[in-house]
């Protein structure tokens, strides 16, 4: 550890467990935020449009399911991340290897959380437009569903990269 700048030493003296815990919290917290945001955007339009066109309700629940999937990604990654936490002896706590593991879990959590936030909002807005268009013209539903599928792939990208990041989080052995 260099002592050139006191700020640099402040950062590396933060325990890697702090970073890991924050990463896990962000992973599930922000994913659920994204999913909820998407669901309310879709749900309010769907309910209003279904008054005049009741046939749209069952098909358009797919949009809500895509948003919900985003929250499930967050939960799965949080569970995977917390299994990566291991105890290290206190002598090795601020070792480069421990810091690396801590940062890997943190980054993984951030990646998944914010990718799912964007994905949930995206799918929600498209789902709202899908419900309103389907109510006017039922042939549009399948075409807009394709756009939603592309949108929900964004969350999947986040999960994949997050899992790869966390796979190489190896804490030093005694």
Partner 1 sequence: MYGWEMLSFNIHDGFLEAIVRGNRSGLLTASDYNNLCQCENLDDVKMHLTATEYGPYLQNEPSPLHTTTIVEKCTLKLVDEYKHMLCQATEPLSTFLQYITYGHMIDNVVLIVTGTLHERDVNELLEKCHPLGMFDSIASLAVAQNMRELYRLVLVDTPLAPYFSECITSEDLDDMNIEIMRNTLYKAYLEDFYKFCQKLGGATAEIMCDLLSFEADRRAVNITINSIGTELTRDDRRRLYSNFGLLYPYGHEELAVCEDVDQVRGAMEKYPPYQSIFAKISYGESQMLDKAFYEEEVRRLCLSFEQQFHYAVFFAYIRLREQEIRNLMWISECVAQNQKNRVHDSVVFMF
Report the interface residues with partner 1, using CB under 8 A. 37, 40-41, 44-49, 51-53, 121, 125, 128-129, 131-132, 135-136
User: Min. distance of Cβ 53 from partner 1 in angstroms?
Assistant: 7
CA 13, 16, 17, 22 torsion-angle sign? positive
Q: Which is nearer to partner 1, 53 or 61 (CB)?
A: 53
Closest distance of CB 136 from partner 1, Å? 5
Number of Cβ atoms within 10 Å of the Cβ of 76: 17
Q: What does the DSSP assignment read for 5-32?
A: -HHHHHHHTS-HHHHHHHHHHHHHHHHH
Least distance to partner 1 from the beta carbon of 33, Å?
A: 12
Least separation in angstroms between CB 35 and partner 1: 14
Task: Please report the beta strands in 22-90, taking only residues with DSSP state E, as ranges in sequence order.
Answer: none
Between 128 and 166, name the residue whose CB sits nearer to partner 1. 128
Query: Of 151 and 162, which CB lies nearer to partner 1 in the complex structure?
Result: 151
CA gap 126, 173 in Å, rounded: 48
Tokens of 25: 């919290």
Would you say 28 or 121 has its CB closer to partner 1?
Answer: 121
């Amino acid at each position: 550890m260099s002592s050139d700048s006191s700020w640099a030493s402040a950062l590396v003296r933060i325990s890697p467990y702090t970073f890991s815990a924050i990463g896990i919290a962000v992973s599930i917290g922000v994913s659920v935020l994204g999913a909820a945001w998407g669901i309310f955007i879709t749900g309010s339009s769907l309910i209003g449009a279904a008054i005049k066109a009741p046939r749209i309700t069952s098909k358009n629940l797919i949009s809500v399911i895509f948003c919900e999937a985003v929250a499930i990604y967050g939960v799965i990654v949080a569970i995977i991340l917390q299994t990566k936490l291991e105890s290290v002896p206190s002598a090795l706590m601020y070792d480069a290897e421990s810091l690396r593991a801590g940062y890997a879990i943190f980054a993984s959590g951030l990646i998944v959380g914010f990718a799912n936030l964007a994905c949930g909002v995206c799918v929600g807005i498209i789902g709202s437009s899908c419900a309103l268009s389907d109510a006017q013209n039922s042939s549009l539903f399948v075409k807009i569903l394709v756009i939603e599928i592309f949108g929900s792939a964004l969350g999947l990208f986040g999960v994949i990269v997050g899992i790869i990041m966390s796979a190489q989080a190896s804490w030093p052995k005694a």
